[in-house]
Structure 1
């Protein structure tokens, strides 16, 4: 890793750049170009006059607050979030974090950039990331679990600097979105096109904890009269952890080719390669949060880390030579507070080819073929099993891999006052869940220099395969929709989708010492079939600046796929539990109802959005025991009834000054109690009427920005209310405020004064402070599951105050 960092410093020094940046001018221009060339299905859902008002409102302000601002598409609620919003965060930050400006949206992460996939989560209107559909240029990104069986994280799919916009659809979602998990809406990422002019971009960021982020992009410009063009980019991010030892590294390559065909058609191809090697942050319990301080972490990379972990493992097993660190003495479970190692490593290859063809003036055909190959490794040093040589722990490695390909194809036909659109999506996925054990060396051999601890980033030969399952999934989705405009200010949408999904699982290996069972899930598969999922919506612009809209939809999430003990999946259990539950398993479904009102003027934009959801058959991962190898049960916790409202405004009282504020209330409660059978009899847990886990009832968001000449300052704050860690609500995570500030200065006028202005087209300097008040708070929850009651080691700490500085130069 150190050699990688040395190479990184050398290459970036050769590029002669330093500090933080924002590509606002280019981002705005590109975002607008992308909006103008979007498919007809998007273009025609609002009138031309409405589109002009929306684009003007967005482009008129250098800092775009998207919590209110947005384009209303007649067939679903869509809020576009542009590149300028993403640019308000430190370069390289997960683009999902930009959505925290939206009411009802919550993004959590263990690191300030949100790149550590184990420690991040995304929630929207009471739904978590596994229940929200995500796509990139229409290509599905899958279910968003850490071990994503049918996709990859958005940050691993595309560099945030290459994103043109995000189209966010809360509640109802979209019939045409390539997702089988969009119960609570969709987030559709749209990549930037290459510039018509040849050029390049260099962005360099320095930050706290030796953070070093480089982004370099080269645009070919138009290669011929048709406008064929491409870009290639490289991103590298390297930073030490803010607590514990070792560092987090990521590099990524993106490439996109665009070939216009006439005036209205085009062919595009996109490719992504991502390589991540990250040491994870240790999971906390609330007991650790209250009594263990803010800096407990895994021990790899710390002074005497292996010896400390070794002796802690001896103590946990009651063996001679064991000891517990002084800082852990007051913890209720000191033996699981730290492990020696906990790492995540992945390589992703993802891309596709799209044809967007205008067959006639009225008929348009859009088709995409895509493929994806993924390797992942997640390691942890477990004290639950001793190594064959007598060392009191082993290195366990979860090694999922994915191979998938798919095809999307749709036709759009415009006739009279109707826009009719229909399409199909097929995907085949092979997912292998594999877990292995590696022998750790004896302490005396490490202290004498005769052996080294297992390196979770570079594993060699395991001594035991703990389990292996192989899954094959076929997904077929068809949809049909019509948007009808009886009047220029009135639109109605009618549509439905059909879903057919089948997964077969095979058990290839099982080690009862680890799994505690003679057989894990395998054998026949499970099919989810929903032939008719309707969607109805409408929009009425009844006065200048006034809009009313509604949305009603029925959605399904197919039964998810996960390896043994690694997710809320019916396949993540024993063979006996799988056989007993298979016949009665029912996919999660919901009905979403939403109404909204929006007012837009030059001075103020306001919005009220109310929603109701009836959620059936909610599947949850319920965990007890050691988080390293918990006893996990996949439980149907029954129905959830949810009522919520978002309200907010954007005020523009002076030129260059913008104020935004929003508040969200969500009352999402379980409709049923849950009864479990234990060795001592049946136990009933009082879930009925309790707020759902991990999602607060109250959130507040506020932003302010002021631009004067070439300088700009901005700040955002959010309040996250208390959240339930346990299903019964007897253990809660406290509320917190999180505030970020930033400043940007445009250096372009300085360069334009000399000859260098012919080379440098744009330059800017930026500075960001994350968590300026240094709040100590709980961020992500439930990565190891949730307990029925009481505490559990399944929360992640949020990062303390962090500083970032960037310079950007465009050629």
Structure 2
């Protein structure tokens, strides 16, 4: 059997190499013959094989990876070079683990309104649960990779951890505008050992910002489309500033659009900036700033019965009814962020290199919802609140109010790696420290006679009879993270064999207070995890590589609510008890893979993962406000295979196919009250067995277009597998035309994006999980009542027309 396997591998490798050589010769001949038709002088592009972004912190084993030099006749204002296989969906990789990515060749052709989570939907193992067709609502969308949700995927922006350290939702619109993203890389299954992450049991998503141009100039984009979309973007590059060696850019964008279902208008203002200084050989210092100011409304998440009855019309009311809490303006939410970073890469000589990234992020905002309160029968914690103050008009012994979840988040840190290369060996040591401070009080504010809200921040909040602010929770959390790591890479046989071993010890401490009558005041947790990694890769030929790796990772519960008591404001009954020392999720994974690069690019991987204390996030509601909860899903096993195939541009065409098969099961019976549901052996939630993506792009330098299709099979939404959403497909299309330079306009172009073609709405993912949807008998014979899961509703059809030009 082993001989047959080797024969098959050798045959496949030989065939692909022959095809690559023959087709490359044909392409060279065709380009030579038609060189007079080129729209611009040929551009030489160096594509980093192992890590296209060139981020400050990346796999140490890939430092000496080769570059693939590609000649292309495409020149554009948007950064498209038409050099990446698969139309920008398959940049070459050499690191000894599963890794995929997208480059400007793909990013620039997507709708300017899309976000990074939506753009990676074609990569192997990715399930994107969109909640609107334009990709603007990243507060209510789902992402999973190999069945692991977005809070289990580490998110880096220029080496900066960009997801809030407790909730861990990516909020990808908080980082760069699409025009400024150079590339995005997804590492499925495990993070890099140098990455400043402690939650990445499902992999790592890394976003890289473009470097400023050496020449003065800029870019402008104007987009209009469905749902009254209007978006403007402008960027200015300083070029090289005198003889300082400094160059930079600043950009600004503004966007407004209506919600695709229901009512309400969203808006977003965004600023990006990057300044760079390079000197000597391998020395670079950068300063990065991103500011985001979005406002939007929550879309109502239906149960399956509500979806069957109302479809896309299951929405919040567009008009206020006295005594009702179902008014859409009460669902307003805002997540304003400021990200600052200063990556520095220094070449110290004698094989020594120092990479360090200090960073600071501030986030503030609110998540609001509607509720009704009793003026004299409400509770503050477990104590009667007495006669409430600031209630406004009261009728039928109740009044409508807005439930306000206000928060302020500060997180900063420093990640440093010192590496030393001596001969065939590279040794690296590093340290990461992070400090996180979160304040999150809940408040209530009475509505005006027509449903008006005086202050979304609760400036005129309702008070109890003794003057205290009526609140369901008043939480303050401080988290400190310390991480030490060491990594050694050895290369042999003319760099054909690469051996890597590393060890990381991550220590996390949380201190939490809950200042509500009757609640446990102080709670916390300290945990440390040993995280070894090993990897071996071997280049069979310059175009063929095999690899195997073993990795570990861990994650604490991704919810501040796990640590505190909560009481019903209407009854004073305790609705949630704080968890003492909740168990951390720990994962052990193994992969074996094969890659071929050339005209035809192939990547294959088999993977196996074992989890203990699997932490699964779900959405619940507290007084009408959505909050994130964490469920301990016990043990889980996941096994599967993925494949990726992409063609380098050939006669201007670049096809791409990716697919994954996943078999993930729950290993334990889960506790519900004093009994257990019989969940052992059931298919894991949010883990479709089959995902497929197909793409075809065309770009001749002037005319361009692409088609992408995604298929996702059935997904379970309960641990008992008694409710699921059916499989679905999405179809997206884009096409456009680049014009010749005209006066001060450089490579102006027009582009049309059509999203969700043929869809009028579908269930795209699970929003709120349930242990069981139907009543079931537990292990001890207790009848355990069912509860209905809720779902994301995938967006209907939308179109976006964009005009872009450099200057």
Paired position in structure 1 for 2:598: 601
Deviation of residue 804 (structure 1)?
0.5
Asked whether 1:612 is paired with 2:629, we answer no
> Which SS does the other structure have where 1:341 is aligned?
helix
Determine which of 304, 315, 335 is the counterpart of 1:346. 335
Deviation of residue 36 (structure 1)?
8.9
Deviation of residue 659 (structure 1)?
1.8
Determine which of 758, 764, 784 is the counterpart of 2:749. 764
Paired position in structure 2 for 1:321: none
Determine which of 456, 480, 486 is the counterpart of 1:480. 486
Structure 1 distance, partners of 2:544, 2:605, is 14
Structure 1 distance, partners of 2:399, 2:649, is 66
Q: Residues 540-555 of structure 1 correspond to what in structure 2 (within 5 A)?
A: 540-555=538-553
Deviation of residue 570 (structure 1)?
4.0
1:623–1:715 CA distance, 2 compared to 1 (3 A): closer
Paired position in structure 1 for 2:583: 586
Structure 2 distance, partners of 1:770, 1:558, is 36
Q: Note if contact 2:307-2:314 (Cα within 8 Å) is conserved in structure 1.
A: no
Q: Note if contact 1:27-1:83 (Cα within 8 Å) is conserved in structure 2.
A: no
Deviation of residue 111 (structure 1)?
1.7
Structure 1 distance, partners of 2:41, 2:668, is 52
Deviation of residue 558 (structure 1)?
2.5
Paired position in structure 1 for 2:62: 45
Determine which of 102, 106, 111 is the counterpart of 2:127. 106
Q: Note if contact 2:152-2:555 (Cα within 8 Å) is conserved in structure 1.
A: yes
Q: Note if contact 1:212-1:237 (Cα within 8 Å) is conserved in structure 2.
A: yes
> Which SS does the other structure have where 2:515 is aligned?
strand
Q: Residues 329-368 of structure 1 correspond to what in structure 2 (within 5 A)?
A: 341-368=330-357
Q: How many residues align?
A: 719
Deviation of residue 408 (structure 1)?
1.3
Structure 2 distance, partners of 1:621, 1:593, is 24
Deviation of residue 97 (structure 1)?
1.6
Deviation of residue 172 (structure 1)?
2.1
Normalised TM-score (structure 1): 0.82
Structure 2 distance, partners of 1:624, 1:152, is 19
Determine which of 777, 784, 802 is the counterpart of 2:798. 802
Structure 1 distance, partners of 2:68, 2:235, is 31
Deviation of residue 56 (structure 1)?
13
Asked whether 1:198 is paired with 2:216, we answer yes
Paired position in structure 1 for 2:508: 501
Paired position in structure 2 for 1:21: none
Structure 2 distance, partners of 1:182, 1:117, is 19
Structure 2 distance, partners of 1:629, 1:183, is 29
1:794–1:401 CA distance, 2 compared to 1 (3 A): farther
Determine which of 80, 88, 93 is the counterpart of 1:71. 93
Deviation of residue 632 (structure 1)?
9.4
Q: Residues 198-347 of structure 1 correspond to what in structure 2 (within 5 A)?
A: 198-299=216-317, 302=318, 305-307=319-321, 310=322, 341-347=330-336
Paired position in structure 1 for 2:460: 461
Paired position in structure 2 for 1:438: 445
Structure 1 distance, partners of 2:712, 2:702, is 34
Deviation of residue 374 (structure 1)?
1.1
> Which SS does the other structure have where 1:287 is aligned?
helix
1:176–1:576 CA distance, 2 compared to 1 (3 A): farther
1:56–1:402 CA distance, 2 compared to 1 (3 A): farther
1:570–1:262 CA distance, 2 compared to 1 (3 A): same
Deviation of residue 460 (structure 1)?
3.5
Structure 2 distance, partners of 1:613, 1:358, is 38
Q: Note if contact 1:244-1:297 (Cα within 8 Å) is conserved in structure 2.
A: yes
Deviation of residue 61 (structure 1)?
4.1
Alignment deviations for residues 614-652 of structure 1 (CA, whole Å, 9 cap, x no partner): 010113457889883799985433100000111232246
Paired position in structure 1 for 2:432: 425
Structure 2 distance, partners of 1:582, 1:27, is 60
Q: Note if contact 2:161-2:197 (Cα within 8 Å) is conserved in structure 1.
A: yes
1:54–1:673 CA distance, 2 compared to 1 (3 A): farther
Q: Note if contact 2:370-2:623 (Cα within 8 Å) is conserved in structure 1.
A: no
Paired position in structure 2 for 1:317: none
Asked whether 1:713 is paired with 2:705, we answer yes
1:642–1:793 CA distance, 2 compared to 1 (3 A): closer
1:366–1:621 CA distance, 2 compared to 1 (3 A): closer
Q: Note if contact 1:537-1:551 (Cα within 8 Å) is conserved in structure 2.
A: yes
> Which SS does the other structure have where 1:288 is aligned?
helix
Paired position in structure 2 for 1:189: 207
Deviation of residue 709 (structure 1)?
5.1
Q: Note if contact 1:119-1:780 (Cα within 8 Å) is conserved in structure 2.
A: no
Paired position in structure 1 for 2:21: none
Structure 2 distance, partners of 1:472, 1:249, is 32
Stretch of structure 1 that moved more, 45-54 or 416-425: 45-54
Deviation of residue 67 (structure 1)?
5.3
The two structures, once aligned, show a CA RMSD in angstroms of 3.2
Structure 2 distance, partners of 1:45, 1:312, is 59
Q: Note if contact 1:658-1:705 (Cα within 8 Å) is conserved in structure 2.
A: yes
Deviation of residue 770 (structure 1)?
0.4
Structure 1 distance, partners of 2:176, 2:230, is 19
Structure 1 distance, partners of 2:736, 2:267, is 27
Alignment deviations for residues 208-258 of structure 1 (CA, whole Å, 9 cap, x no partner): 011011111000000133531111100111101111112010101111111
> Which SS does the other structure have where 2:473 is aligned?
strand
1:220–1:54 CA distance, 2 compared to 1 (3 A): closer
Deviation of residue 590 (structure 1)?
0.4
1:410–1:105 CA distance, 2 compared to 1 (3 A): same
Structure 2 distance, partners of 1:572, 1:81, is 43
Q: Note if contact 2:369-2:626 (Cα within 8 Å) is conserved in structure 1.
A: no
Structure 2 distance, partners of 1:664, 1:477, is 33
Q: Note if contact 1:535-1:553 (Cα within 8 Å) is conserved in structure 2.
A: yes
Paired position in structure 1 for 2:13: none
Deviation of residue 522 (structure 1)?
3.4
Deviation of residue 355 (structure 1)?
2.0
1:213–1:30 CA distance, 2 compared to 1 (3 A): farther
